[in-house]
Amino acid sequence: MAHSTKPLRLFGVCFLVGLGYWGAWLAPACSGRDLLPDTGRRYGPTTSGGYYVRIKPSALTMAHMQQPSVVVTIEDGVGQPVDDVLVSFVPSEGAVVTETSHTRGGTVTGTFTAATGSDSPRTAFVVVTVENVEVTVFIDIVPAVFGR
Protein backbone atom coordinates (compact mmCIF):
# COMPACT_ATOMS: atom_id res chain seq x y z
CA MET A 1 0.00 0.00 0.00
CA ALA A 2 1.46 3.35 -1.02
CA HIS A 3 1.31 6.25 1.39
CA SER A 4 0.89 9.81 0.19
CA THR A 5 3.38 12.40 1.41
CA LYS A 6 0.97 15.23 0.59
CA PRO A 7 -0.39 15.62 4.17
CA LEU A 8 3.15 15.66 5.52
CA ARG A 9 4.22 18.36 3.05
CA LEU A 10 1.12 20.42 3.85
CA PHE A 11 1.88 20.14 7.57
CA GLY A 12 5.50 21.22 6.94
CA VAL A 13 4.43 24.28 4.95
CA CYS A 14 1.86 25.28 7.57
CA PHE A 15 4.42 24.77 10.33
CA LEU A 16 6.98 26.99 8.58
CA VAL A 17 4.41 29.73 7.90
CA GLY A 18 3.32 29.64 11.55
CA LEU A 19 6.94 29.73 12.69
CA GLY A 20 7.53 32.76 10.46
CA TYR A 21 4.55 34.63 11.95
CA TRP A 22 5.71 33.76 15.46
CA GLY A 23 9.24 34.98 14.68
CA ALA A 24 7.92 38.22 13.19
CA TRP A 25 6.07 38.86 16.45
CA LEU A 26 8.82 37.70 18.81
CA ALA A 27 11.80 39.53 17.29
CA PRO A 28 10.39 43.07 17.73
CA ALA A 29 8.98 42.17 21.15
CA CYS A 30 12.41 41.05 22.35
CA SER A 31 14.28 43.97 20.81
CA GLY A 32 11.93 46.60 22.27
CA ARG A 33 11.25 48.00 18.79
CA ASP A 34 8.20 47.84 16.59
CA LEU A 35 8.29 45.83 13.39
CA LEU A 36 7.13 48.92 11.50
CA PRO A 37 7.81 52.23 13.24
CA ASP A 38 4.75 54.20 14.32
CA THR A 39 5.90 57.57 13.09
CA GLY A 40 2.65 59.49 13.30
CA ARG A 41 1.87 62.72 11.50
CA ARG A 42 4.71 65.08 10.71
CA TYR A 43 4.06 68.83 11.13
CA GLY A 44 6.18 71.55 9.59
CA PRO A 45 8.62 72.60 8.44
CA THR A 46 9.14 75.40 10.92
CA THR A 47 9.91 78.80 9.40
CA SER A 48 13.37 79.61 10.72
CA GLY A 49 14.88 76.19 11.51
CA GLY A 50 13.19 74.01 8.89
CA TYR A 51 12.37 71.41 11.56
CA TYR A 52 9.58 68.85 11.48
CA VAL A 53 7.54 68.02 14.58
CA ARG A 54 5.99 64.69 15.61
CA ILE A 55 3.82 64.30 18.71
CA LYS A 56 2.68 61.13 20.49
CA PRO A 57 -0.09 60.74 21.35
CA SER A 58 -2.10 63.17 19.25
CA ALA A 59 -5.11 62.71 21.58
CA LEU A 60 -5.77 60.67 24.72
CA THR A 61 -8.26 59.75 27.41
CA MET A 62 -7.24 59.74 31.05
CA ALA A 63 -8.67 59.42 34.53
CA HIS A 64 -8.41 62.63 36.55
CA MET A 65 -5.59 61.29 38.73
CA GLN A 66 -3.40 59.94 35.90
CA GLN A 67 -0.40 61.82 34.56
CA PRO A 68 0.08 60.95 30.89
CA SER A 69 3.16 61.87 28.91
CA VAL A 70 3.26 63.77 25.65
CA VAL A 71 6.42 63.05 23.63
CA VAL A 72 7.57 65.65 21.09
CA THR A 73 10.16 64.63 18.50
CA ILE A 74 12.00 67.17 16.35
CA GLU A 75 13.56 66.07 13.06
CA ASP A 76 15.42 67.68 10.21
CA GLY A 77 14.27 67.32 6.59
CA VAL A 78 15.67 63.78 6.24
CA GLY A 79 14.19 62.51 9.51
CA GLN A 80 17.27 62.77 11.76
CA PRO A 81 16.72 63.95 15.37
CA VAL A 82 17.69 67.54 16.16
CA ASP A 83 19.00 68.62 19.57
CA ASP A 84 18.69 71.91 21.45
CA VAL A 85 15.38 73.02 19.91
CA LEU A 86 13.04 74.94 22.22
CA VAL A 87 9.66 73.23 22.79
CA SER A 88 6.88 74.85 24.83
CA PHE A 89 3.79 73.23 26.34
CA VAL A 90 0.77 75.41 27.24
CA PRO A 91 -2.09 73.49 28.92
CA SER A 92 -5.70 74.70 29.04
CA GLU A 93 -5.76 73.61 32.68
CA GLY A 94 -3.43 72.04 35.20
CA ALA A 95 0.26 71.85 34.33
CA VAL A 96 2.81 70.22 32.06
CA VAL A 97 6.16 69.37 33.65
CA THR A 98 9.34 68.66 31.65
CA GLU A 99 12.92 67.92 32.63
CA THR A 100 14.10 70.37 30.00
CA SER A 101 12.50 72.72 27.49
CA HIS A 102 15.07 71.90 24.79
CA THR A 103 15.32 68.65 22.84
CA ARG A 104 17.85 66.00 23.81
CA GLY A 105 18.24 63.13 21.39
CA GLY A 106 15.60 64.92 19.33
CA THR A 107 12.85 64.61 21.97
CA VAL A 108 11.21 66.40 24.87
CA THR A 109 8.67 64.67 27.12
CA GLY A 110 6.01 66.63 28.99
CA THR A 111 3.89 65.10 31.75
CA PHE A 112 0.36 66.49 32.01
CA THR A 113 -1.44 66.87 35.34
CA ALA A 114 -5.12 67.87 35.36
CA ALA A 115 -6.31 70.75 37.51
CA THR A 116 -7.27 69.77 41.05
CA GLY A 117 -10.69 70.23 42.62
CA SER A 118 -12.92 68.68 39.98
CA ASP A 119 -13.47 65.10 38.92
CA SER A 120 -16.11 66.01 36.33
CA PRO A 121 -15.75 64.78 32.73
CA ARG A 122 -14.26 67.38 30.40
CA THR A 123 -11.84 67.96 27.57
CA ALA A 124 -8.56 69.73 28.18
CA PHE A 125 -5.80 70.39 25.70
CA VAL A 126 -2.10 71.11 25.52
CA VAL A 127 -0.71 73.36 22.80
CA VAL A 128 2.81 72.29 21.83
CA THR A 129 4.83 75.01 20.10
CA VAL A 130 8.08 74.67 18.15
CA GLU A 131 9.07 77.96 16.52
CA ASN A 132 6.00 78.86 14.40
CA VAL A 133 4.39 75.37 14.43
CA GLU A 134 1.62 74.82 17.00
CA VAL A 135 -0.01 71.42 17.55
CA THR A 136 -2.94 70.86 19.90
CA VAL A 137 -3.20 67.59 21.84
CA PHE A 138 -6.74 66.97 23.10
CA ILE A 139 -7.17 65.19 26.44
CA ASP A 140 -10.49 63.71 27.51
CA ILE A 141 -10.60 63.61 31.31
CA VAL A 142 -13.02 61.10 32.80
CA PRO A 143 -13.95 60.43 36.43
CA ALA A 144 -12.14 57.65 38.21
CA VAL A 145 -14.50 54.77 38.97
CA PHE A 146 -13.73 52.37 41.79
CA GLY A 147 -15.41 49.19 42.97
CA ARG A 148 -17.26 48.10 39.86
Q: Domain segments of the chain: what residues?
A: 1-37, 52-142
The CATH classification number of 52-142 equals 2.60.40.10
Burial class of residue 129 in the structure, from the number of CB atoms within 10 Å of its CB (0-12 exposed, 13-18 middle, 19+ buried): middle
Task: Supply the pTM of this predicted model.
Answer: 0.72
Tell me the three state secondary structure of residue 118.
Answer: coil
Asked if pLDDT for residue 122 goes beyond 90, the answer is yes
Residue 78: CB atoms within 10 A of its CB come to 6
Tell me the pLDDT tens digit for each residue of 71-120. Answer: 999 999 999 999 999 999 999 999 999 999 999 999 999 999 999 877 78
Asked if pLDDT for residue 16 goes beyond 70, the answer is no
Name the helix (H) or strand (E) containing 72.
Answer: strand 69-75
Tell me the pLDDT tens digit for each residue of 17-73. Answer: 666 665 555 554 444 444 445 567 899 999 999 999 999 999 999 998 899 999 999
Asked if pLDDT for residue 10 goes beyond 80, the answer is no
